Amino acid sequence: MKKNNGTTFMVIGLMFTTLRLTILNEHKILQYSALILGVALTIYSVFVSDKWKKTKKNGK
């Protein structure tokens, strides 16, 4: 099983959130879509990271 500690989701979420402020500045619907997707992925990464840490802690 691949170890996923949530870092990838965090980076992608922050990328979408940053993309909202730069390239999509003139397109409101895309701007808010990128913001919502970025925030959702960032929050999801926290849960994945927490689950990974608990699994790692219980495995020792």
Domain layout of the chain by residue ranges: 7-54
Look over the chain and give the mean of its residue pLDDT values, rounded to a whole number. Answer: 80
Give the pLDDT of residue 2. 60
The share of the chain scoring above pLDDT 90, in percent, equals 0
Burial of 6 per CB tally in 10 Å (0-12, 13-18, 19+): buried
Give the pLDDT of residue 60. 60
Task: Tell me the mean pLDDT in the region 30-42.
Answer: 85
Q: Distance of alpha carbon 60 from its chain centroid, rounded?
A: 28
Instruction: Indicate the pTM of the whole model.
Output: 0.71
Q: For residue 1, what is the DSSP state?
A: -
